[in-house]
Structure 1
Amino acid sequence: MSLDLHFILFLLLRMAIAATFVVTASIIAERSGPVIGALVATLPISAGPSYAFLAIDHDAAFIAQGALASLPVNAATIFMCLIYVVLAQRHGMVVSCASAFAVWIAIASVIRQFDWSLAAGLAANLIAFGICIPLLAGYRHVKMPLVGRRWYDVPMRAALVATLVAIVVSTSNWVGPRISGIIALFPVVFSSMMVILHPRIGGPPTAAVLANSAWGLLGFGMAIVVLHLGVVWFGSAIGLCLALAACVTWNLTLWAIGRRAVRKAQQGP
């Protein structure tokens, strides 16, 4: 088997694995409501496979440096969510989504100009989430209509994630760890949710899903920190596992807190 054919087949296998991952997560999110859906959406559904396959092709130093670039991109994603949530209250999908994407691209373009340290990335996230979480709080509680899945919904999400994985893996040697880390965090899941849900259930309910994702996205940023430190200290495999565990633990904690709050509200004073 030629090297080119081997690369293509291995790339297709990676894309298929990533697509299977996002299909499973999408079905869980759709059947669980906006709060659980938001928590599932902030798991490393697209970034996880991208980093796992990068770790196969590159050493721990590459992954650690990529994580440093990914950390401030997480701040760009929460600003993208804020722009969409605010605009979606009164505007259609095209205006809301295009504006949100433009903000993400603009911030990501600035991020790529710098070599980020861990402290700088943490500061960017603290500032971004300190601004955005209070502003998003008022948009979280919206009655959600029933959503009927269309045949192309899950395949479209799977195709987007598979394409992202293909871009990250096939260009990583050329663009280096910094750009790879930025591309790996392109908000595929949020983008697909906006494009699919907005025309179907309207802007405010779709915005509510993204608004509920703010705390989960904060935990995702913490998982990137764990990834960087874990890869530096223990190597790529352990670092990736620790990052996934941190993200899952954070989201389960948010879920438990939410359940406790609901029970208290039902019991009354």
Structure 2
Amino acid sequence: MPPELHFLLTLVLRMAITAAFVVSASIITERSGPVIGALVATLPISAGPSYTFLALDHDAAFIAAGALASLPVNAATILMGLVYAVLAQRFSMWISAGTAIAVWLVLATIMRQFEWTLAAGLIVNVIIFAICVPLLKPYRHVARMPLITRRWYDIPLRAALVATLVATVVTTSGWVGPRVTGVMALFPIVFSSMMLILHPRIGGQATAAVLANSAWGLLGFGLGVAVLHVAVLQFGSAIGLSIALATCIVWNLTLWWNGRRKRLAQKA
């Protein structure tokens, strides 16, 4: 088989696998309400496949360097969520989502200019989350979550966006290097697609509630990125990726259990 055809078929397969993950996560998110939906949305739905496929093409040092560049960018994502949540209360989807995505792009571009250490990346996340979590609290609840009427293009569009992101990250990683790759891998494509699809359907306040509930999940996602940086250097890419994924899953399950325990206590 010619190398070009082998590369193309491999890329298409990777995009298809990513799309399958996104379709499954999208269905769960839309049917489970803002709290569970936020926990699912903050799992590594797009970054996970990106780093998995990168690990097939690059060594552990590349993955570790990429994760180190991704870590501070996670803080930009929660700021993006805050900007959207505030604007979505009064403005249209285009203004709210467009401004939020623009803020992310500006912050990610600034963060890319620096050589980050693990400690610095963690400190930035802690500071930003300490500021944003209280500010997002008023937007976490809505009186009633509207029924979502799915249109035929919703899930294919979302799957295509994430698959395209993964393809871009994988195909350009060799010449842009681990720092830029790490930034691109954390582009909030899942959150962006939720804004673009859900806002016209259920309104800005309900969509903002999903993103506002994602704050603690994103903190766990940042922890998973930090674990990835450390673990791949110690144990190799396969084990490191598995430990990072397990970190995100355990964190979100803990959030779910804690929230359920509080609700039961309030009813009692």
**TM-score higher than 0.5:** yes
Please give the alpha-carbon distance, in whole angstroms, between the structure 2 residues aligned to 1:153 and 1:146.
Answer: 15
State the match for 2:232 in structure 1. 231
Written as runs of structure 1 = structure 2, the 5 A alignment for 1:52-71 is 52-71=52-71
Residue range with higher mean Cα deviation, 142-151 or 172-181 = 142-151
Please give the alpha-carbon distance, in whole angstroms, between the structure 1 residues aligned to 2:266 and 2:128.
Answer: 30
SS where residue 150 of structure 1 aligns? coil
State the match for 2:76 in structure 1. 76
Shift of 1:215: 0.3
Q: RMSD across aligned C-alpha pairs, in angstroms? A: 0.6
Please give the alpha-carbon distance, in whole angstroms, between the structure 2 residues aligned to 1:34 and 1:146.
Answer: 12
Shift of 1:149: 1.2
Mapped pair 1:220 → 2:221: yes
Q: 1:186-219, CA deviations, whole angstroms, 9 ceiling, x for partnerless residues? A: 0011001000011111111100000000000000
State the match for 2:106 in structure 1. 106
Written as runs of structure 1 = structure 2, the 5 A alignment for 1:135-174 is 135-142=135-142, 143-174=144-175
Please give the alpha-carbon distance, in whole angstroms, between the structure 2 residues aligned to 1:32 and 1:95.
Answer: 27
Shift of 1:176: 0.5
Which letter maps to 1:94?
W
Residue range with higher mean Cα deviation, 258-267 or 80-89 = 258-267
SS where residue 164 of structure 1 aligns? helix
Mapped pair 1:95 → 2:95: yes
Shift of 1:115: 1.2
What TM-score, normalized to structure 1?
Answer: 0.98
Mapped pair 1:22 → 2:25: no
Runs of 4+ in 1 over 6 A off after TM superposition: none
Shift of 1:266: 1.3
Please give the alpha-carbon distance, in whole angstroms, between the structure 2 residues aligned to 1:196 and 1:230.
Answer: 36
Which letter maps to 1:155?
P
Q: 1:105-146, CA deviations, whole angstroms, 9 ceiling, x for partnerless residues? A: 000000111111101101110111011001001110112111
State the match for 1:265 in structure 2. 266
User: Identical aligned pairs, as a percentage?
Assistant: 70
SS where residue 138 of structure 1 aligns? helix
Matched residue count: 267
Which letter maps to 2:206?
P
